Amino acid sequence: MATLLLDRAQLEIRADGDALALYENGVRSSTVPLQLLERVVIQGARTVLDSGVLLRLAEAGIATLLLSPRASRRVAIVLGPAHNDAGIRLAQASRVMDGGWCAAWSRDIVRAKVMHQRRLLESALEQRPDARKPLTDALASLERVAEALAAAGLTVDSLRGLEGSAARAHFHGLASLMPPALGFTGRNRRPPRDPVNACLSLAYTLLHFDAVRAAHVAGLDPLLGFYHRPAFGRESLASDLIEPLRPRADEWVWHMVRDRELREDHFTRDKGACLLGKAGRGRFYAAWERAVPPLRRWLRRRAAALTAGLRRQGDALLGNDEEEVF
C-alpha cells in the first residue's frame, strides 16, 4: 500500500468514484485509485479539496495528514472508521490508572530507546574515528543510564529523568557527526532553528502520524498513553509507540546529511525558524518512503500486541445485555 504526497501549489483534489482525480490549473493531470493507498499527506500551498474527498478517504480507511505548507507542522489528522471493540479501550483506560503497569511499560520503552541510541553511536564510531572523543563520552553516559535502568522500583518520573539524561548524551554525540555549517548543537523545536532539527521534527511528525493510525486500526485510543500521560490535544499513546524508533529516525537524518541528499541550499530561514524548501521536501519524502516500511511494520505489530494483551481484560468489563441498537 502506498503513500500519496500532495505538495504542489494550486492543486485541486476531487473524488471520482473509487479514485482521486488531481487537477492542476483546472486540467486533470492524474488519477489515483483509492485501493492503492494507505495514507495521504497534504502539504501543498492552496491545495483545494472539499469535505467529500476527506469523507471518501475516511470511508476507505485511508488516514490523511494535513501539514502547514511551509513549516511542515501538523495541522490535523483525519482517520477512518473507529474500531468497535469498546472492551479494548476500557482495559486501556484502566491500565492508565495502574502505576505499576505504567512503570513496567515505560521501562521497556526507555530501555529500547537507549539500546537504539547506543547502536547508532557505536556504528558512527566505526565510521567516524575523528569524532572518537564526543562519541565515546556519549556512549559512556548511555552505558550509565542503561545500568540505572536495571534498578528495581523505578517510577515513571524517574524513568523520564533517565531518558532525559540519555537524550542529552545522545544528541551531544550526534552533533559531532553533523557538518558545523548546519549549526546543529542539540535538539530544538517549535520552531526548529537549524536544518538538522527541521528534518528531525518532520521525521518525528510522520512517525507519529503512522503511530496514531496503527493505534486506531488496532482498536486502541491514541490519546491514552502510559509513559506519556494523557494530556489535552496530544495522542500520548502514539508518543509512547514511537519513542524507541526516534533513534532510527535520527540515524536516517544523519545519513541524509552525510550523503548530501539534503544540503544547506534546501533550507531557508524565516523569523528564527529553519524551513525545508520544496526541492528538499521532494528528496526528503522520497527517501523517507524507502526507509520507513520496517518502522511501520514494527508499529503495527506493537499496537496489535498491546491490543491482544488488553482484550481479555476488556471483555470482562463489557456488559452482557443485548439491547437493540438504533
The string of pLDDT tens digits covering residues 112-150 is: 999 999 999 999 999 999 999 999 999 999 999 999 999
Task: Show the cell assigned to 241.
Answer: 509507540
Model pLDDT, residue 30: 87
Q: How confident is the model at residue 98 (pLDDT cuts 50, 70, 90)?
A: very high
Residues with Cβ within 8 Å of residue 182, at least 6 apart in sequence: 194, 195, 196, 257, 264
Does residue 323 have a pLDDT over 50?
no
> Do the Cβ atoms of 267 and 70 come closer than 8 Å?
no
The predicted model scores a pTM of 0.90
Residue 17, number of CB atoms within 10 A of its CB: 10
Model pLDDT, residue 319: 56
The string of pLDDT tens digits covering residues 249-301 is: 999 999 999 999 999 989 999 888 899 988 999 899 999 999 999 999 999 99
Residue of 170 and 82 predicted with greater confidence: 170
CATH numbers and ranges of domains, the chain: 2-78 (3.100.10.20), 86-317 (1.20.120.920)
Alpha-carbon gap, residue 189 to 322, rounded angstroms: 51
Alpha-carbon gap, residue 54 to 61, rounded angstroms: 11
The string of pLDDT tens digits covering residues 156-202 is: 999 999 999 999 999 999 999 999 989 999 899 888 999 999 999 99
Model pLDDT, residue 320: 56
> Do the Cβ atoms of 52 and 78 come closer than 8 Å?
no
